[in-house]
Structure 1
Amino acid sequence: MATQLMTVSVVQAIADDIRSRILRGEYPSDTSFTETDVAARYEVARPTAKAAIEKLVSESLLERPTNKTAKVMTLGPDDVRDIYLTRARLEKAVLLELAESRTVPPAAVAAQRDLERIDSGSGLDTVDPDMRFHMALVDSIGSPRTSRMYESLVSQVRLCMAQVQGLELVQPERIVREHQHLLDLIEAGDGPAATAFLDEHLSRPRERLVAAVGGVPGPEADLGSSLDAQG
């Protein structure tokens, strides 16, 4: 019996590479991508380059106004708040569902362990396991459409963090502690407490990101964690 191999189209491969570089901060805000440049860089035909660019435009990582060159998306303060508040709405519904069945997703636990192993380096070192933790919660309810909606938001959160590369918005130890508390609340079946704590967990980085992209942060940016009082 022949072995089935998964193939990736040239368009997908180019989009994946550009996306990865954007999210690592190699292409800062407003970096331009013309069909000619992309075609030359990857040695492909212009229609292929155009398709890759359009894919990233559809993911909101690139923006291309009518008759203009595609550029890396620039996120302003209002964008940051809208992204975070939207993802909070999705995650709250997920937390209530998980808490009702007291289901702690193994993939979220695995991401948490990866976070625990981070002890130094760039502030961006926490971004991947942090996002995987939250994505694992959403994926665990088994709704492909919800996962796709959430993933499109996560890409923009990563983009925003990449644009402020090197800025440690929240200490890794605090992220680890707060993630564990969310898992504990899910296991305890306390959905309302989990959703309330999620608001706290997301509001701090949200407002610090707002400040990083030139906005006026809300008071949440400087609030401590409610876990501090618990010792």
Structure 2
Amino acid sequence: MQNIKIVPEGDASLLIQFEQVISPEVNQKIAAAAKLIRAQQISGIIDMIPTYCSLLINYNPLVISYEALFKRVESIVRMESRSEAGKKKVWEIPVVYGGTYGPDLGAIAEHAGISEEEVIKIHSSKDYLIYMLGFLPGFTYLGGLDEKIHTPRLASPRVRIPAGSVGIGGSQTGIYPMDSPGGWRLMGMTPVKTYDPDRETPILVEAGDYIRFVPVTEEKYLEIKAAVEAGTYEVTVHEGED
């Protein structure tokens, strides 16, 4: 349990603090801890929320006390097991880049000193680790954006960003799951609903999964969008090695 602390967080939460750095290694430890705790099916645990450097556990103190939960969690964290070490789940998210779908693509390219085509190639050339979900239901905080296309947020946030917009905010990239205000630079849009309250599992992805953006034409985007609305589209998912 080196560099790991377990502390109370309010009167019905417990916080596991890992190393205070943003890295795939720390994220993997958090995912492993969450998986092990979930497997124990501890009565009283209501929810677990992973972040960049910690895991928050919400529990019912009428079912399990803090002391009892602390002991259970401490013994699990001591295992220091890796969650399916070397395995990763990759979601392929189709994106139409530029134009009215990505009004800031030109500004991103100009800031980087490269062409729009190069920005698209860079952005869609790797698998992004989902470090955490937050801000909005299903909003993905992705790690690993190439430094070449790091772009400052807008000085004045937009009042409304359409659901499905793919953007860059500083050193991060992500998908807006619903219409909302926001200050990230918009480079494209996906027809895939990363959050759908009417779906059996409303949030499509989980922290610890990966996302790969796949460039598509406007024609293909509209085709996929129609399939999504009809409930017939299935996102391509790969399970591979790290």
Same fold (TM over 0.5): no
Pick the structure with more helix per residue.
1
TM-score by length of 2: 0.31
TM-score by length of 1: 0.32
